Amino acid sequence: MAQDNFSRVTEFILLGLSDTQELQLLSFTLFLLAYAMVLLGNLLIIVTVRTDPKLSSPMYFFLRHLSFIDICYTSVTAPRVLVALLSGHEAIAFEGCITQLFFLHFVGSSEMFLLTVMAFDRYTAICRPLHYTAIMARRACWALVAACWVGGFIHSIVQTLLVLQLPFCGPNTIHSYFCDVLPVVRLACADTALTEWLMASNSGLISLGCFLVLVASYALILAKVRARLSQGHWKPLSTCASHVMVVTLLFVPCIFTYLRPAGTLPSNKYVCVIYTTFSPMMNPLIYTLRSSEVKESMWRL
């Protein structure tokens, strides 16, 4: 009966990025500009790829879905941060915190899987060009995208259930600007060592596994096109270079954040800005600047 009488936390307090008024105003301006760039840039890519018949290859099909995921991913955190910075209301309900946590990992892990699929698409196009059309048929592309979403959902529901089985009776202050598994788990009124290791094995190993697959695929591509580089055929390498930049911006901070138990190192909320806001903001710039086809289609649009 004693366990039934503890005071359960009904809301969490998000401390944000800074306590000073000047830095809060600067943070609001930067987040607003970044979120606007994410929305406008990714929407422009979606409309461009959707309306131009020349951009019908699997690479642009996946790029369109990546842009949609980036919009969803940033929308999980950015609007809540902007409202909190503008109104000063730092509290978030327990249910809202768990919902934000769920969708953050749902969309974020789906993006990791999709980037891995995009690397496979590039590997197939460059290393097996004669079989590319048969392997990357439109039905196969849709199946791969669906698998990315299903994989993201399974990952996220596991993370969410691990958090929900913990008791929260205070404190309720989260040293971040959004709800994530590691800051929330630190507030549990129980021994969370096993839960922390399970979460690190889940999120961390997924991030590391996808990253290693991506690095291996790009290494194979580089080995394949090495002979072509001396002949001036730089386009395959240029395409892969844009993917490598996206991978670095997303995976390296995620591996640093999640591939460790919650109590080993203090969380760095500024590192979180890289993969929740900066990476989705840079994707449209990277892909449009590195792809002449997309730039030409945008000018025509």
Q: Tell which wins on pLDDT, 232 or 110.
A: 110
**Does position 142 have pLDDT exceeding 80, yes or no?**
yes
Domain tally, the chain = 1
Within a domain: residue 6?
A: no
Average pLDDT, the chain: 83
Over pLDDT 70: what percentage of the chain? Answer: 88
For residue 12, the SS3 value is strand
Predicted confidence at residue 227, as pLDDT, reads 61
- 253 band by pLDDT with thresholds 50, 70 and 90: confident
| Average pLDDT estimate for 153-175 | 88
**Rounded Cα gap, residues 238 and 235, in angstroms:** 5
**Does position 25 have pLDDT exceeding 70, yes or no?**
yes
Within a domain: residue 153?
A: yes
**Does position 271 have pLDDT exceeding 70, yes or no?**
yes
Strand partners, 92: 12
Within a domain: residue 123?
A: yes
| Average pLDDT estimate for 74-87 | 87
- 1 band by pLDDT with thresholds 50, 70 and 90: very low
- Residue 42 sits at the vertex; the CA angle it makes with 40 and 47, to the nearest 5 degrees, is 90
Within a domain: residue 175?
A: yes
Contact 64, 50 (CB under 8 A): yes
List the domain range (segments joined by +) for residue 187.
Answer: 11-300
Q: Give me 64's structure tokens.
A: 């369109």
- 157 band by pLDDT with thresholds 50, 70 and 90: very high
Within a domain: residue 2?
A: no
- 2 band by pLDDT with thresholds 50, 70 and 90: very low
**Does position 261 have pLDDT exceeding 80, yes or no?**
no
- 7 band by pLDDT with thresholds 50, 70 and 90: low
Within a domain: residue 4?
A: no
- Residues with Cβ < 8 Å from 282, sequence gap 6 or more? 245, 246, 249
Contact 243, 118 (CB under 8 A): yes
Within a domain: residue 5?
A: no
Taking phi first (over 0 means left), then psi (-120 to 50 degrees means alpha), and beta for anything else, what does residue 167 get? beta
Q: Give me 130's structure tokens.
A: 């004669």
| Average pLDDT estimate for 165-194 | 84
Highest mean pLDDT among 45-49, 187-191, 193-197, 283-287: 45-49
CATH number, domain of 234, equals: 1.20.1070.10
| Average pLDDT estimate for 279-290 | 77
Q: What kind and span of H or E run contains 122?
A: helix 94-127
- 236 band by pLDDT with thresholds 50, 70 and 90: low
Residue type, 96: G
In this prediction the pTM is 0.88
Predicted confidence at residue 270, as pLDDT, reads 78
| Average pLDDT estimate for 119-128 | 86
- 5 band by pLDDT with thresholds 50, 70 and 90: very low
Within a domain: residue 282?
A: yes
Predicted confidence at residue 262, as pLDDT, reads 54
